[in-house]
Chains A and B, each alone.
Chain A
Amino acid sequence: MGRALIVDDAVTVRMYHRQILEGAGFEVDEAENGVEALERALVVPYDLLLVDVNMPKMDGYTFLKEVRSTPELRAIPAIMISTEAERRDREQAYRAGANLYLVKPVRPEALALRATLMTARGESR
């Protein structure tokens, strides 16, 4: 499948998403905010980013904008996952560079499927 980075400040959410993605065959790393995620993504080649919106030090939008403006990270597919009301976030997420926007709590099957499809597409490029 590939390697995924989960970026979320809630440990329970990270564990939950890890379980789902590992079940779908991904290798998984975790980061607690956008800055740490950048530190990791610059070292490890990820096939998928799973990004929360609200995090300390660097929020998910800012992180994705950084990713999209960094040549070596630009092409990594990203799913943004938010606890917030959709009306506000969906558009901002896509503008920041998300390929998909999901609302928490996610259904395990839905996340596993989308993650698989997105990285498969990436591989065939």
Chain B
Amino acid sequence: MGLVKRAEHRAAPSRPHIRKYGRDLQGLLAQLHDDQAKARRWAARDLAAHTEAVSALCERLQVEPDPTVREAIFGSLLTIGTEAVAEGLIPLLRGEDAGLRNGAVEILQQLPDAVGHRIAALLADSDPDVRIFAVDILQDLAHPDAPAWMLAVVEADEHVNVVTTAIDRLAEVGTPEMVPAIQAVKDRFPNEPFVGFAVDTALKRILGNG
């Protein structure tokens, strides 16, 4: 008893386990639907090495009940990071499940190349919630056009929550040329105290005090 010494025979770290599935793409895809969450999680993690698995991973996300498996799937999709990942995740933004919507936003934020050319369509979506998610994606998208896209939202979007979300993000990345456009939002929503607050806050951040 006490601290086990290096020289002593230490317990074998890993229990042997019976391999039910092959470690190739087909085996992993089958394992992704195993009854055991642990098995599905492992499949999801190992599928990070298979670009072809994107659609299967995205489909699984929609029905996967276990948060740890979901997390592994999101992680693998981020590792894969192709156009197909962006395409597969965008539909989740419309879903009922807040965890999936926000998980999708987090991954899409990390894929500037795949997401950049899809942003315009998202910002023009008829559902204001989807437009807010598009602005959320822009918050962390390493894309040089992100501030300009957000400015366009500030100038043109008609929904107060979409516009104020964009103003919130511009408080971080806005530039002095954007000031008139941000200022003008106050006149478009004259009866919303939050709009006044958001505009003033952003202007203070952007203009500073020298």
Contact = CB atoms under 8 A, between A and B. Distances in A.
Q: Do chains A and B touch in the complex (CB under 8 A)?
A: yes
A59 B99 contact: yes
Contacts of A12: 164, 167-168, 171, 197-198, 201-202
A85 B129 CA distance: 8
Contacts of A116: none
Interface string B182-193: 000000000011
Given A11-B168, A12-B167, A59 B197 contact: no
Contact of A16 (B101, B106, B194): B194
Nearest to A88: B96
B115 to A, nearest CB: 16
B168 A107 contact: no
B98 A10 contact: no
A56 B98 CA distance: 10
Interface in A77-122: 83-85, 88, 92, 104-108
A13 interface: yes
Given A15-B201, A16-B194, A55-B102, A10 B96 contact: no
A62 B171 contact: no
A4 B167 CA distance: 25
Nearest to A53: B98
B79 interface: no
Q: At the interface, is chain B mostly helix, strand, loop or mixed?
A: helix
Contacts of A107: 193
29 contacts: A11-B168, A12-B164, A12-B168, A12-B201, A13-B194, A16-B198, A53-B98, A54-B105, A54-B132, A54-B133, A56-B105, A56-B106, A57-B102, A59-B101, A59-B102, A60-B98, A61-B98, A61-B99, A62-B98, A83-B129, A83-B132, A83-B165, A84-B129, A88-B96, A92-B98, A105-B192, A105-B194, A105-B195, A107-B193
Interface of A: 10-13, 15-16, 19, 53-57, 59-62, 83-85, 88, 92, 104-108
Interface of B: 96, 98-99, 101-102, 105-106, 128-129, 132-133, 136, 160-161, 164-165, 167-168, 171-172, 192-195, 197-198, 201-202
8 nearest A-B pairs in the assembled complex, by CB-CB distance:
A105-B194, A59-B98, A83-B161, A12-B168, A10-B168, A12-B198, A16-B197, A84-B129
